[in-house]
């Protein structure tokens, strides 16, 4: 019998959309609690300063003020922790200076908080915060990661020599790599900056904390990507409140892109304050606060050399990177430039010798942590810029040089995965396939001809490639534990079949735009063979969902979906016992298909709903079997997943002004099996435009005083609808061999692949006009491109 309830692989319209398109979403700032108060922070205006005195006397007596707390009030509380240990090359532990909830004697970046004012209304809180008098003595500061390590640079933390948090290396011994580089027929060298970005989820961070005196219990509503992780970090490491006394809820969350993974000081401070004042307290970030406080992304200064033999085969790769960590260590700051960046230096290529050396550095800037892609965009940018420049220098076609270097196809089933020089073992791949398909869809040969024609007519057309791989499905707990993670990275999936046969699904993953309420329901409804409307996905509440590690690193479906698959299996196995008893046969004779438990080879069957009812009304029921139909599973992945793909950008550069116009953007992504093609495509679109944003528009700019000079939407240039073009997306499918759904993850692919394709396209355009330019610093504004053409 064919299954009418077949949903996997179909572009099912999203379940969650109705509430969002009618204005019925429920974001943290929408929540108002009984007795609500509002918070406003007093923040340092300086990049680096000594706090000499704080006077709250005037502010305290202002209308509506409920309480004011300063650093002294919370000095006894721990700072927010870092979740990943990275060691120095000599084995020393990384430096972890305290990140206090409020500063006491020193502020270390613009926006660092010194006091919190709580009042009856938002307006009153703002008024009183303005009346708090703080005397500062401005200190000299440092914002550039490389300069910060030089002798005599101002120290961000007095006990961190040279501002170095860690130095770290991975790969083959440096002597072997040096030798391979020196023996190479050709060496392509590049020094460049992967500029700092501000993630800019459109919903500003928001928290609302309440203390329930009756039950001695706290509730924190938070715009977080991972409520359980916040509860764990806040309870165990900061406030010392037992976890069962804290409920953390992430309701609808308006985008994250990484910036809402981390445990922020405001979460702990508001939770603490709610008990002090015995009233709920809410704070929602203003946009400029988002710029100054939400963890930033990227900010690497890199020097890299790629060796080639005479045929364009890569012989070796040597990389030195300074990674700016900002003033404090954010939750995953230390692993982004190391284990999520250094481990990707193999790319898609057979490079035999690789060494990467990363120095993590404190500066007087906002903390830097995972932003969509997290380390992998930086790795891809580095590799794809080098190979494209190498091809140009060697006069080899950029597609051809990649074919010559690709790791041959492997499916990870008939043969083991591909062991890289930098710790990872890729699961399955067909890298030739994605590039071949991309060239075919692009009409590559014709486009090269068009480029020559354009050049004759005085126009600059450029074609840029990027071939990426990423490590997703984060992650096997044992592996990441050995690499320094201070958490397990499994996921939890609970399935409760209700007595009526309706299904409640509890997942530890969190959806903030990814559409889990649809994709996960597709998986469960499809596997049970029941209508999708019979399945509800519940997420984001630590009191409802047993546990969870949250959503980041393109992990939700690969890890969270796999956990659900384990629970689905358990439900069906138990259902078979119940059905077998009802039909008086052995459970071995039962098969489950399309919502029916059927006796093999007969038309005798019991429906899913009937089995569910029997499980809860067990009058005629197997002896020794527990009633109920409710299973929870923890899934710890066997390996990372490794999505990959090819992105191609076609641009036109205006010779007179340097303005870059996107003519075409084409992607071929291989994210393994696909549950909902519409949603995957949407993830690619969004990611690609963020990547184009980095290439052409965005960049956080600090001046020498530590001021973020473009801390608003008025002057931080994010792509708008008329800045970008439509995107042509294609997919290839190489299933993941080690998880039950064969999925790899699609959340970050767009961002990882796109940036170098755009920059390579602009350089290709300039090369076609005879401008021998090696690098233009991102973002490639008209001014920068124009200047590059003048040299």
Residues that bind other proteins (CB under 8 A): 13-14, 16-27, 29-30, 32, 122-123, 200-204, 252-255, 257, 284, 286-288, 512-515, 678-679, 681-682, 685-690, 712-714, 718-722, 724, 726-727, 750
- Smallest separation, CB 221 to other proteins (Å): 14
Residue 16 or 630 having the CB closest to other proteins? 16
- Please, what is the angle between helix 444-456 and helix 431-442, to 10°? 50
Three-state secondary structure of 509-531 = CCCCCCCHHHHHHHHHHHHHCCC
- Smallest separation, CB 223 to other proteins (Å): 10
Q: Give the whole-angstrom CA distance, residue 366 versus residue 709.
A: 13
- Smallest separation, CB 114 to other proteins (Å): 22
- Smallest separation, CB 266 to other proteins (Å): 17
DSSP 8-state symbol, 362: E
- Where residue 594 falls (left for φ over 0; alpha for ψ -120 to 50; beta otherwise) is left
- Smallest separation, CB 460 to other proteins (Å): 22
Contact 531, 212 (CB under 8 A): no
Contact 377, 196 (CB under 8 A): no
652: CB partners within 8 A, 6+ apart: 454, 459, 460, 461, 462, 660, 661, 663, 765
Residue 30 or 440 having the CB closest to other proteins? 30
DSSP 763-780: HHHHHHTT------PSS-
Residue 66 or 103 having the CB closest to other proteins? 66
Residue 454 or 724 having the CB closest to other proteins? 724
Residue 406 phi, psi (nearest 5): -60, 140
- Smallest separation, CB 149 to other proteins (Å): 33
Residue 195 or 430 having the CB closest to other proteins? 195
SS3 168: strand
- Smallest separation, CB 783 to other proteins (Å): 21
- Smallest separation, CB 124 to other proteins (Å): 10
DSSP 708-723: BTT-STTTS----GGG
- Smallest separation, CB 184 to other proteins (Å): 39
Residue 512 or 555 having the CB closest to other proteins? 512
- Smallest separation, CB 647 to other proteins (Å): 13
Dihedral over alpha carbons 709, 714, 718, 723 (to 10 degrees): -130
Q: Report the candidate in 765, 788, 787, 758 with the shortest Cα–Cα distance to residue 775.
A: 788
Residue 286 or 775 having the CB closest to other proteins? 286
Other CB atoms within 10 Å distance of the CB of residue 114? 22
Residue 302 or 683 having the CB closest to other proteins? 683
Residue 287 or 502 having the CB closest to other proteins? 287
Residue 260 or 581 having the CB closest to other proteins? 260
Strands 217-222 and 206-212: antiparallel
Q: Measured between alpha carbons, how far is residue 320 from residues 137, 199, 354, 443 in Å?
A: 36, 25, 11, 37
Q: For the chain, how far is it from start to end, CA to CA, in angstroms?
A: 70
- Smallest separation, CB 360 to other proteins (Å): 27
Residue 10 or 784 having the CB closest to other proteins? 10
Q: Report the candidate in 343, 165, 195, 327 with the shortest Cα–Cα distance to residue 696.
A: 195
Other CB atoms within 10 Å distance of the CB of residue 589? 16
| Secondary structure tally for the chain: helices H, strands E | 20, 28
């Amino acid at each position: 019998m064919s299954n009418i309830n077949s949903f996997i692989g179909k572009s099912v319209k999203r379940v969650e959309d109705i509430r969002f398109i009618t204005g019925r979403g429920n974001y943290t700032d929408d929540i108002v609690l009984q007795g609500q108060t509002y918070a406003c922070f007093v923040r340092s205006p300086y990049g680096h300063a000594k706090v000499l005195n704080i006077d709250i006397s005037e502010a305290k007596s202002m209308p509506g003020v409920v309480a004011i707390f300063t650093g002294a009030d919370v000095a006894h509380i721990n700072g927010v922790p870092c979740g990943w240990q990275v060691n120095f090359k000599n084995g020393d532990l990384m430096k972890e200076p305290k990140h206090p909830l409020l500063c006491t004697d020193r502020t270390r970046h613009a926006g660092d908080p010194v006091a919190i004012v709580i009042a009856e209304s938002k307006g009153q809180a703002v008024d009183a915060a303005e009346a708090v008098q703080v005397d500062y003595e401005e200190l000299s500061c440092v914002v550039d990661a490389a300069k910060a390590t030089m002798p005599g640079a101002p120290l961000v933390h007095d006990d961190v020599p040279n501002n170095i948090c860690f130095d770290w290396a991975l790969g083959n011994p440096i002597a072997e790599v040096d030798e391979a580089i020196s023996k190479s027929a050709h060496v392509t060298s590049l020094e460049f900056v992967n500029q700092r970005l501000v993630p800019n989820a459109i919903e500003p961070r928001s928290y609302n904390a309440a203390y329930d005196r009756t039950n001695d219990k706290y509730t924190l509503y938070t715009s977080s990507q991972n409520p359980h992780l916040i509860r764990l970090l806040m309870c165990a490491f900061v406030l010392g409140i037992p976890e069962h006394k804290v409920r953390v809820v992430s309701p609808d969350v308006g985008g994250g892109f990484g910036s809402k993974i981390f445990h922020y000081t405001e979460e702990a401070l508001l939770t603490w304050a709610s008990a002090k004042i015995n009233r709920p307290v809410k704070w929602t970030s203003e946009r400029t606060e988002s710029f100054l406080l939400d963890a930033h992304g990227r900010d690497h200064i890199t020097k890299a050399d790629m060796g080639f033999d005479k045929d364009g085969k890569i012989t070796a790769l040597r990389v030195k990177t300074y990674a700016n960590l900002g003033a404090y260590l954010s939750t995953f700051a230390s692993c982004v430039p190391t284990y999520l960046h250094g481990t990707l230096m193999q790319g898609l290529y057979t490079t035999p010798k690789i060494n990467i050396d990363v120095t993590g550095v404190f500066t007087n800037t906002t903390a830097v942590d995972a932003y969509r892609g997290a380390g992998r965009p930086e790795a891809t940018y580095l590799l794809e810029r080098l190979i494209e420049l190498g091809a140009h220098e060697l006069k080899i076609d950029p597609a051809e040089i990649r074919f010559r270097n690709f790791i041959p196809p492997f499916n990870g089933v008939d043969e083991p995965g591909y062991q890289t020089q930098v710790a990872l073992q890729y699961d399955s791949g067909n890298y030739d396939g994605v590039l071949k398909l991309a060239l075919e869809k692009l009409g590559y040969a014709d486009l090269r001809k068009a480029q020559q024609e354009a050049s004759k007519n005085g126009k600059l057309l450029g074609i840029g490639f990027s071939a990426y791989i990423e490590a997703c499905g984060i992650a096997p707990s044992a592996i990441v534990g050995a690499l320094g993670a201070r958490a397990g990275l499994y996921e939890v999936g609970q399935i409760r079949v209700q007595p009526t046969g309706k299904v409640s699904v509890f997942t530890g993953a969190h959806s903030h735009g990814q559409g889990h309420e649809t994709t996960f329901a597709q998986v469960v409804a499809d596997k049970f063979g029941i209508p999708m409307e019979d399945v509800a996905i519940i997420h984001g509440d630590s009191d409802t969902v047993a546990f969870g590690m949250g959503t980041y690193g393109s992990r939700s479906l690969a890890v969270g979906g796999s956990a659900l698959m384990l629970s689905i299996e358990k439900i069906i196995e138990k259902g078979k016992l119940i059905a077998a008893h009802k039909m008086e046969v052995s459970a071995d004779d039962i098969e489950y298909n399309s919502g029916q438990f059927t006796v093999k080879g007969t038309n005798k069957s019991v429906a899913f709903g009937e089995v569910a009812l029997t499980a809860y009304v067990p009058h005629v029921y197997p002896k020794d079997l527990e009633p109920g139909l409710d299973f929870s599973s923890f899934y710890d992945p066997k390996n990372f997943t490794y999505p990959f793909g090819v992105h191609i950008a076609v641009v036109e550069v205006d010779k007179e002004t340097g303005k870059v116009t996107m003519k075409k953007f084409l992607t071929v992504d291989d994210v393994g099996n696909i549950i909902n093609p519409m949603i995957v495509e949407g993830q690619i679109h969004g990611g690609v435009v963020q990547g184009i944003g980095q290439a052409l528009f965005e960049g956080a700019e600090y001046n020498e005083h530590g001021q973020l000079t473009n801390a608003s939407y008025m002057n931080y240039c994010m792509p708008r609808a008329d800045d970008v073009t439509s995107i042509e997306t294609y997919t290839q499918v190489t299933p993941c061999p080690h998880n039950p759904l064969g999925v790899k993850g699609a959340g970050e692919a767009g961002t990882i692949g796109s940036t170098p394709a755009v920059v390579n396209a602009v350089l290709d355009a300039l090369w076609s006009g005879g401008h021998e330019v090696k690098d233009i610093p991102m973002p490639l504004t008209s001014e920068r491109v124009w200047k590059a053409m003048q040299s």
